[in-house]
Structure 1
Amino acid sequence: VTPWSSSEIHQEWPSLPPILDPKLADEVFTHPGLGLKYSYERLEWLGDAYLELIASSLIHQTFTQLRSGACSQLRERLIRNVTLAEYFRHYDMSRWAKLPDGFGDNRGQGRGRSKDKDLLKTQADMFEAYVAAVILSDSQHGLTKVVEWLKALWGRTIKEDIYKAEAAKKRSESQPTASEAPDSSAKQRLSVKIVTKGVTIDYKDLPGEKRDKNLGLPLFTVGAYLTGYGEVGRLLAVGTALSKKDAGQKAAETALQNKRLIQAYEEKKRQYMKAK
C-alpha cells in the first residue's frame, strides 16, 4: 500500500476487478433472507475488515499531519454504507443481486423510508462481500488488485482532501523545523513561569464552528484561564488546532509570547515567594 498522490487521481472510474471463483461470486450477491445454505454474510464480515485495514493504511501514509481522531473521521467517509452503496450502484451490481421477493422494490438511496435504508445497507454489505471474494478467489494477485482498485475509487471520493494535504505538506516543508508545531512543553513552561501555591491555570473548551482551511476538518478552540493573585478566571490566551491537546498547547504558547503579561505575573510570583 502506497500513499495517494494527486497525480494518480483520474476522472474515470476504475475497472471492476473480477471474482475468479463462480461459487464465491454467487455467495456475494445472495441475501440471507432467501433462506439458502449460503449468503453474503461471512464474506461481508471479512470484506469489512479488509476495507477498514486498507483505508487506514492509505490514510496513515497520506495524511501524515492528521491526528488519529481526524484520521478516523476521514476513514468513516470512505467505508460508510452511503459511500459503498454508491459504488455498488455505479457498477450496476444490482443485476447480480438475489433478494427476497419485494425487498428491492424501493430503489432509493437510503434516505427516508426504512425500506430504502435496508436496501442501502444490503448494497453496502454486498460490496464488502465483493471485496473479500476478489481477494479469496485470487490468492496470488487478489489483494494487490483490490488495493489498487479501492485506492483509485477512494481517491476520487476524497480528492479535495488529498490536494489540500499535499499543499499543507509542501508549506510545512518550506518552513523552518522549529515552526512546524507548537512546543509540546508550552503548558509546563507557562506553569513554571507564573504558577505557585494557590495559583492555577485551567484549559477550557470554547465554542466555535471553525474548520481547517486546508483539510476542511473541524477545529478545536481552547482558552487558558488563570486563577490566583487576586484574579479569578483571567483569560490569558486562546489556541485553535485540529485536536484539543494541540489547541491547549497553542493557547499556552500564545500566552508565553505575550511578554508584558508574563513579566507581570512573574513579578507577582516573585513578590509572593519573597513574602513567604
Structure 2
Amino acid sequence: MNKRPYGDRPDTHDRYKKHKPDHRGRQHGDRAMNSHGDRERPSDRQSGSRQYSYEDAVSLLPARTWKLSEIPAYTPFTVSSAGLPPLPEVKGETFQTAPFKHKSTVTYNRSAVVGDVTYERLEFIGDAQLEHIASRLIYERYSHLTAGQQSQLRELLVKNETLSEYAKAYGFEERVEVGDLERQRMQADAKNRGNKGFNKILGDSFEAYVAAVILSDDEHGFAIAEKWLTTLWAPKLLEAAARDRMYDPSIALLHTKNDADPKSVYNPTAKADLQKLILSGPGVALSYEPYQASIELKGDLLGQNRHFIAVYLTGYGYERKLLGKGEGKNKVEAGNWAAVEAMHGENKGIVDECAQQLEERREKKRAEREAAEKSAP
C-alpha cells in the first residue's frame, strides 16, 4: 500500500492537478492557494463560495456526535497537505483491471459463475458501499441535521456528477476501456448531451474502483476506502455547509462565545424566540408569508428547492411592518432565518423597542397586582 503523501507521486492525479482545469475553470492545484501563493485558510474566503484543501477540510469537519460500529484502527493510508489524497492501491490483477473494462469490451455471460469479478458486479457493490460510507460520515458528523437534509447531503456526495468529477481528477479517462460501438455512440451523443454518456461510465468506473479497494483487501479494505472517501468528500461537505449555513449546535455556541455576527448562525427556535420577545396579546401579530415564489435549484443542488419567507409585524403602532426576510430549503427553515434577521438585522431596533414596551407592560401589571394584594383585607 502506498504510504507516500499525495504530492510525491508523478501519476495521473498530479498530471490532472497541473494541467486540467476543474469544473469552475481553475487549475486543480490552485484551489487552496491565495494571491500570495500561500495555502488559504477557510476564513480567507467569502461565505458561500469557500474552497478548502483536503487536509484543512478533514480537520474542520464537525466532531462526531454519534458513534457507529468500529472499523479496524490501522489503515495504511496517509493524508498530507498537497493535492488530491492518493488513490488507494488495489490488490490482485483481476481487481486492478476490472474497474476499467467497460462491459462493451467483453462478452458477458449474464449467468456467470458466482464470484466472477466483472465491471458490472463491482459497480453494483461499489454503489452500495459508497452510499454506506457516505451515510456513516454524515450520520456521525452531521447528526444534528434532519433526515431530509442528511439525504440531500448524501446525494451530493454519491451522485454521478460528483463521481465522474473525481474519476477525471484521478485520470480514469485514460484508463477506462470502451468498445468501438459504444465509443461511436458516445461520440454521437456528445454533440447533443455534453458527453453525459461517457461521464456516466466514468462515474460507474469510480464505483467499481471503490468496490475493488474493499474486496481486494479483506482485513483493511473497507477502512482504507472509508478514510480515503472521507478525505475526498470533506471539502464538498464544508462548502455545502457554508453555502447553506447549516445549523450546528457546537458552531452556534462557538459563534456566541466569539461575539460573531448572530445573523450568520442558524437558530432552529428563532420564530419562537421572536414571538416570546414581542407578542403581548390582542392586536399584536407576527405573520410569515412568501415574498417570492419558491425555485428549484440546479447544479450540485439539483432536486432541491429554495423558499423565501418574510416576517411582518402588526401592533405597537405598526401595520404589516417588514421585520426580516429569509431563505431556506423549506418554509420552516426560511421562516427561522427571517426571524433571525428580524432580531439581529436592520430592524433590530424595532424589535428591541417592542420588547421593552412589552416588559414595561408586564412590570406595570405585576406592580398593580402586588398593590392589590397588599390592599386586600
Q: Which runs of 5+ in 2 are unaligned?
A: 1-56, 62-78, 111-117, 295-304, 362-377
Distance 1:9 1:161 in 2: 23
* Equivalence for 1:175: 256
Q: Compared with structure 1, are the counterparts of its residues 186 and 249 closer, same or farther at alpha carbon in structure 2 (3 Å cutoff)?
A: farther
- From 33, 36, 44, the equivalent of 2:108 is 36
Residue 121 of structure 1 and its aligned partner are, at CA, apart by: 0.2
Choose 141-150 or 49-58, whichever is displaced more: 49-58
Distance 2:230 2:186 in 1: 28
What's the TM-score, normalizing by structure 2? Answer: 0.50
Residues 1:121 and 2:200 are matched in the alignment: yes
Give CA deviations for 1:91-142 in whole Å, capped at 9, x if unaligned.
333454342214336998x975337211110111011111012111211100
Q: Tell me, yes or no, if the aligned pair for 1:4 and 1:162 is still in contact at 8 Å.
A: no
Identity of paired residues, percent?
31
Q: Compared with structure 1, are the counterparts of its residues 136 and 192 closer, same or farther at alpha carbon in structure 2 (3 Å cutoff)?
A: same
Q: Compared with structure 1, are the counterparts of its residues 13 and 104 closer, same or farther at alpha carbon in structure 2 (3 Å cutoff)?
A: farther
Q: Tell me, yes or no, if the aligned pair for 1:182 and 1:250 is still in contact at 8 Å.
A: yes
Give CA deviations for 1:15-37 in whole Å, capped at 9, x if unaligned.
22222244444442333344412
Residue 143 of structure 1 and its aligned partner are, at CA, apart by: 0.8
Structure 1 segment 158-237 matched on structure 2, within 5 A: 172-173=253-254, 175-176=256-257, 182=267, 184=269, 185-186=272-273, 189=276, 193-194=280-281, 201-207=286-292, 221-225=308-312, 234-237=320-323
Distance 1:35 1:115 in 2: 28
Q: Tell me, yes or no, if the aligned pair for 1:11 and 1:156 is still in contact at 8 Å.
A: no
* Equivalence for 1:240: 326
Query: Amino acid of the residue matched to residue 179 of structure 2?
Result: P
SS in 2 for 1:245: helix
* Equivalence for 1:93: 172
SS in 1 for 2:233: helix
Distance 2:335 2:191 in 1: 41
Query: Amino acid of the residue matched to residue 90 of structure 2?
Result: I
Q: Tell me, yes or no, if the aligned pair for 2:98 and 2:119 is still in contact at 8 Å.
A: yes
- From 1, 5, 12, the equivalent of 2:83 is 12
Residue 173 of structure 1 and its aligned partner are, at CA, apart by: 1.3
- From 25, 28, 46, the equivalent of 2:125 is 46
Higher relative contact order (CA 8 A, sep 6+): 1
Choose 114-123 or 235-244, whichever is displaced more: 235-244
What's the TM-score, normalizing by structure 1? Answer: 0.64
Q: Compared with structure 1, are the counterparts of its residues 56 and 239 closer, same or farther at alpha carbon in structure 2 (3 Å cutoff)?
A: farther
Choose 80-89 or 3-12, whichever is displaced more: 3-12
Residue 193 of structure 1 and its aligned partner are, at CA, apart by: 2.6
Q: Which runs of 5+ in 1 are unaligned?
A: 210-217, 268-276
Residue 64 of structure 1 and its aligned partner are, at CA, apart by: 7.3
Q: Tell me, yes or no, if the aligned pair for 2:130 and 2:207 is still in contact at 8 Å.
A: yes
Q: Tell me, yes or no, if the aligned pair for 1:31 and 1:40 is still in contact at 8 Å.
A: yes
Q: Tell me, yes or no, if the aligned pair for 2:139 and 2:150 is still in contact at 8 Å.
A: yes
